[in-house]
A = this chain, B = another copy of it.
């Protein structure tokens, strides 16, 4: 560990050295001058137009990516903070370094970009004129300053607004951000509705101009809280593909103290306009200069695989803020969960909150899953199969009416149901070498959680829990706030900070959409924030192309707790036709195609028992990697990924397809030259089909080397998982 720390420090110092050497002193610029920076095929240009409005454009080689697009704000303190600017100067700098994530898809990440910082000033003529006693029309006063910082990488652009410390703008309110992305064509677009409270919609693939979310929002009654007032708005990460084969992804990075960005689609001009999630009084952000927005990111390439391999978003996030990270350990886990999702058991101990006996105690319904015996069964399974953790939901009192009532005091996070003997269970887990994962569902009542958070984390520590799954199902309290607004963004960050203080890892369900904060808070392991496997349990589920779109959209922001590994694909539900929309082999492949340092094996022990030969892949697949190769990818169609185990020579490969069967030829050139490997292939059996024969798989073993090309047939809705170990 000493060595790793030393190396990290070296990288850290080199950061400043490189910046200082290559920085160029500020120069005065005229309003009309266009500033440009580029790296590889990506070029960014910035200028002020005749009205002093900042605008920018992006090209990839000779192809336009973003046509001339506006920048700026409406502030409560200045409603035209998007025009009348003059350019005070620019600074250019270059940066090239390498840093090591605590965990992740690769061991090292290169952070290489050209930076352009423009210093803008808006005179405060209007302000002075309006102020009491000020001379009308006077231009005296400090004005208001705005910096815009652009970073151009080989695979895209990031930019953000910075508000320097200044006398004319101290505490201020962002009423609207006006950033636009003027697209150059009516691209094929993979989108979900712009919603203030949920990211759990299924994806729609359409032309950009055809975006209209109204019908989908209305029909999505399987999502608890939906607030999507703009039918033409979409969420980021937004994935697009141009007619001439450019892949373009728009998202944001480093969202820590701001509200989330939706994009309004103007079909006529093909322009995407920022729509920030509002707070209870329709403000978008409260800032205190010096302050900055998150980065707005545009990742672009003519190869889909480059989008998935991009580290642009992580690079734009701040380095770890944690004092130590040696207590952070990626792991797999099972959980008392799928039986509740499928209706076999219940989260609640009783069926109704007012179902009480004469002594005022809840009358048990007899189907409560989080009981001591059942939890110990999961602990046994985990221990027998080298699964690190066991998640238990429904262990604490309050589940009888936990949800849907906008009720503030739902859970206290420390009181177990009478049939959950936390002392005995903790001791049992410890004796078996298994970690228990705490579950803190808030029902969206963040105020209730915040006032009890210290108590909750002390409780976790007392019982030896080192991970917590948080949840925010329901309308948010403070009432009027939204899951993706600034107040909640700051809440989720506070939870990660508080967890770090107690050396606890976080798996956040229903948080704001991720933007790479796992770099800054590496104990914030994973998020849900998308439509997970669970929708196959309690709703019509996820279409077979869903997992081929996720890596290009939601996963651009960070790891997802998708909860793969369902082996009993059909027949688990009383609802006719309900099933998982993949083959069993594809469930295995997801452990590689969907990266997360916390991966659940979501099915029941008894369902795994029927296929222990297939479960071997879940048992063996790592959750932390030295390297990752995107072997093949097309959003909505297929994804194939190979990853090298952290600190070992083994590779794991996952390949998935949409509803269409296809054969992928995957060259294994990433293997060590001249070395022989044993490949164990978990694949769809001939005739397999997600709908008709989803559980048909075969396992075969072949010898491969760096010259091999793996030919994998994927069934409709199918996939393949491969373990490649050197001899």
Contacts and interface: CB of A to CB of B under 8 A. Distances in A.
Contacts of A280: 280-281, 478-481
Contacts of A354: 165
Contacts of A490: 408
B407 A281 contact: no
A110 interface: no
A171 B353 CA distance: 12
Interface string A263-294: 00000000000000001110100101000000
Name which of A401, A447, A478 has the most chain B CB atoms within 10 A of its CB.
A478
Contact of A479 (B281, B401, B405): B281
Contact of A447 (B171, B286, B405, B447): B447
Contacts of A170: 401, 405
A407 B280 CA distance: 15
A170 B406 CA distance: 12
B279 A479 contact: yes
Interface stretch (A113-121, A381-389, A449-457, A575-583): A449-457
A274 to B, nearest CB: 21
A676 B478 CA distance: 62
Each complex incorporates copies of this chain amounting to 2
A405 B279 contact: no
A9 to B, nearest CB: 22
B480 A288 contact: no
A55 to B, nearest CB: 32
Contacts of A455: 454
Contacts of A401: 170-171
Contacts of A480: 279-281, 478-480
A257 to B, nearest CB: 10
Interface in A499-550: none
Name which of A408, A451, A490 has the most chain B CB atoms within 10 A of its CB.
A451
Interface in A116-175: 165, 170-171, 173
A249 to B, nearest CB: 33
B447 A478 contact: yes
A450 B173 CA distance: 24
Interface in A397-416: 401, 405-408
Contacts of A454: 454-455
A480 B447 CA distance: 14
Interface in A198-218: none
A291 to B, nearest CB: 12
Contacts of A281: 280, 479-480
Interface string A1-40: 0000000000000000000000000000000000000000
A165 B286 CA distance: 42
Given A450-B447, A450-B450, A454-B455, A405 B478 contact: no
B406 A286 contact: yes
A405 B405 CA distance: 33
A398 to B, nearest CB: 13
Contact of A407 (B279, B288, B450, B453): B288
A103 to B, nearest CB: 29
A391 to B, nearest CB: 26
Contacts of A487: 478-479
A165 B355 CA distance: 12
Contacts of A279: 479-480
Given A280-B280, A281-B479, A354-B165, A405 B288 contact: yes
Interface in A323-369: 354
Nearest to A478: B478
Name which of A171, A283, A453, A480 has the most chain B CB atoms within 10 A of its CB.
A480
Contact of A481 (B173, B406, B407, B478): B478
Interface string A472-487: 0000001111000001
A451 B450 CA distance: 5
A478 B450 CA distance: 13
Contacts of A494: 451
Interface in A428-480: 447, 450-451, 453-455, 478-480
A487 B480 CA distance: 12
Nearest to A480: B280
Nearest to A453: B451
Contacts of A479: 279-281, 283, 478, 480, 487
Contacts of A288: 405, 407
A501 B260 CA distance: 39
Nearest to A286: B406
Nearest to A281: B480
B451 A171 contact: no
A315 to B, nearest CB: 28
A487 B476 CA distance: 14
Contacts of A173: 406
A406 B281 CA distance: 12
A407 B281 CA distance: 15
A131 to B, nearest CB: 16
A99 to B, nearest CB: 27
A494 B450 CA distance: 14
A268 to B, nearest CB: 34
Nearest to A458: B454
B450 A171 contact: no
A454 B450 CA distance: 11
Interface of A: 165, 170-171, 173, 279-281, 283, 286, 288, 354, 401, 405-408, 447, 450-451, 453-455, 478-481, 487, 490, 494
8 contacts: A165-B354, A170-B401, A279-B479, A280-B479, A280-B481, A281-B480, A286-B406, A451-B453
Given A280-B481, A281-B479, A288-B405, 9 more contacts: A165-B354, A171-B406, A171-B407, A173-B406, A280-B281, A447-B478, A451-B451, A451-B494, A479-B487
7 closest Cβ pairs, A-B complex: A478-B478, A280-B480, A280-B280, A171-B405, A450-B451, A281-B480, A480-B480
